[in-house]
C-alpha cells in the first residue's frame, strides 16, 4: 500500500504580503510623480513637430517661430521650457526645432529625481 504524504502548505505570509505592498506603494508613488514630466515632454515634442511641419513656418524668421511656439504652448499649458530655449536649425531644407532642459521632481522629503529631456522635431 502506497501512502501519499500531504504536500507542505503553501501561501503568502503576512510579512511577505506587507513587504510586497510597501514595494508596490513606493513604485506607484514614484511612477505617479514622473508621469506628468514625461507627458509634458511628449507634448513639447508634438508641438515641435507641428510647428516644423507647418508650411508657413518653413520660411519664417526665428522670432516668428518662437512666437508661434509661445501661442501654442500657452494653449497646451507647457511651462518646462521657454521660447528662448528653442534651438532652430535647418536640415536639408527642413525646419528642425530642438531643446534641452532638466526637471527636478520632488519625491518625498529631501529626495528628488533630476531628469534631462531633449525633445526634437527631427525624426
pLDDT in tens, 77-89: 998 999 999 999 9
Establish if 5 belongs to a structural domain. Answer: no
Distance CA 64, CA 57 (A): 8
Establish if 93 belongs to a structural domain. Answer: yes
Establish if 96 belongs to a structural domain. Answer: yes
On whether the CB atoms of residues 52 and 96 are closer than 8 A, the answer is: yes
Structure confidence by residue, pLDDT tens digits, 45-63: 999 999 999 888 888 899 9
Establish if 34 belongs to a structural domain. Answer: yes
What is the rounded average pLDDT for all residues in the chain? 90
Establish if 7 belongs to a structural domain. Answer: no
In this predicted structure, the answer to whether residue 2 has a pLDDT above a threshold of 80 is no
- Greatest alpha-carbon span in the chain: 93
The tally of domains found in the chain comes to: 1
Distance CA 115, CA 101 (A): 9
- DSSP count for the chain of H helices, then E strands: 2, 4
On whether the CB atoms of residues 80 and 100 are closer than 8 A, the answer is: no
Establish if 82 belongs to a structural domain. Answer: yes
Establish if 85 belongs to a structural domain. Answer: yes
Helices (H), the chain: 14-53, 62-76
Establish if 111 belongs to a structural domain. Answer: yes
Q: What is the dihedral of CA 48, 51, 57, 58, to 10 degrees?
A: 60
Range of the domain at 67: 15-117
HSE-up of 65 (CA within 13 Å, CB side)?
26
Distance CA 25, CA 7 (A): 33
In this predicted structure, the answer to whether residue 1 has a pLDDT above a threshold of 70 is no
Amino acid at each position: 500500500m502506497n501512502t501519499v504524504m500531504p504536500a507542505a502548505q503553501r501561501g503568502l505570509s503576512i510579512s511577505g504580503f506587507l513587504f510586497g505592498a510597501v514595494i508596490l506603494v513606493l513604485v506607484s508613488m514614484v511612477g505617479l510623480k514622473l508621469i506628468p514630466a514625461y507627458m509634458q515632454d511628449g507634448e513639447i515634442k508634438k508641438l515641435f513637430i507641428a510647428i516644423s511641419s507647418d508650411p508657413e513656418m518653413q520660411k519664417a524668421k526665428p522670432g516668428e517661430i518662437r512666437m508661434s511656439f509661445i501661442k501654442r504652448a500657452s494653449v497646451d499649458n507647457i511651462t518646462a521650457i521657454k521660447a528662448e530655449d528653442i534651438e532652430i536649425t535647418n536640415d536639408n531644407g527642413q525646419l528642425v526645432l530642438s531643446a534641452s532642459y532638466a526637471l527636478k521632481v520632488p519625491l518625498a522629503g529631501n529626495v528628488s529625481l533630476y531628469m534631462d529631456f531633449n525633445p526634437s522635431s527631427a525624426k
